[in-house]
Structure 1
Amino acid sequence: MNRCAWVTDEPLYLEYHDKEWGVPVYDDQVLFEMLCLEGAQAGLSWWTILKKRENYRIAFDQFDPEKIVRYTDEKIQTLLEFEGIIRNRLKVKSVVSNAKAFLKIQAEYGSFSNYIWEFVGHEPIVNEWKTIEEVPVSNELSDSMSKQLKKDGFKFVGPTICYSYMQAVGLINDHTLDCFRHPSNC
């Protein structure tokens, strides 16, 4: 069975690639979690974050934005002392500010899903890359998403993070043509 060239033989990586990456997500809670995790990844490998994912869920109350917006300075300090996550003050605080922005978007659009899927016209973009080298790290769409998210109050949402996020939640399907997960092979 062929997979995208970036996938290692680590079971956690295999499961993520085979069952999550590129699959359209419409659940607000999952969309928020992935946005926070992609921000935590900035400057690091996705593998680093994937291994700590369960710790992040515990630390950040299962990524419940209603709880996160009430985090105090003491709670943030506790998070910064928790070795199970990336203990970067700006990244930890961004989860709180992102929760505030997220709830504002939910109120305005009815759901975060409605908001985020507008960037692709509510249809996943399916690319037809032959090799992993062809897959960009950002594009005009991720640039546009980044600008809008920043305007709406989100942090750690640069164009590269946004592109990675779009891949992770299925706004863009970048499985290579030889991968069994590419829609042409399903």
Structure 2
Amino acid sequence: KEKSINNLLASIEQSKSRPFARLLYGIGIRYVGEGTAKTLARHFQSIDRLAQATDYELQALPDVGPKIAEQVVYYFSLERNQQLIAELQRCGVILEERSEETTDAPQSNRLEGERIVISGSFTQHSRDEYKQLIEQHGGVNVGSISGRTTFVLMGSDMGPSKRAKAEQLGIPLVTEEEFLARLNS
């Protein structure tokens, strides 16, 4: 029993130091996905600065439009969310970007400005590894296909509805091999 309790306590302590972007994603601000959370974390560096951001400041960031900016401002205006942030601070949760988190500068700009959806299964890398590669080369991971999507990184069992939507919108479907060749060129 004592070992289980110690393991649980160690796990709780470890969770307090998760990357700031993961915390932002996890607190559930509407329309703030993983990519947007990373953008916000890199730019504002702390929850306190983000909480004070204006609609105008937020929209000046890449991939933050009026809907997202409005929801971020709204989230931090609610008293229950302010209380949540205060409680997290009281419990010792890290609510700022640490220096080791900001050193992941892009390796290249080959994918700069490109919005990429990943769909299906892959053989050479995992989905998480592809997400990292996209970010390391200046691209942005997006979760759903829209008119703003640059291309879909298509795995072997891509869902038929995503394929149909991409084809309907004229979004290119890029295979794993084509994608890796593009990064290595």
Same fold (TM over 0.5): no
- Structure with more helix by fraction: 1
TM-score by length of 2: 0.29
Q: Which has the higher contact order (CA 8 A, sep 6+)?
A: 1
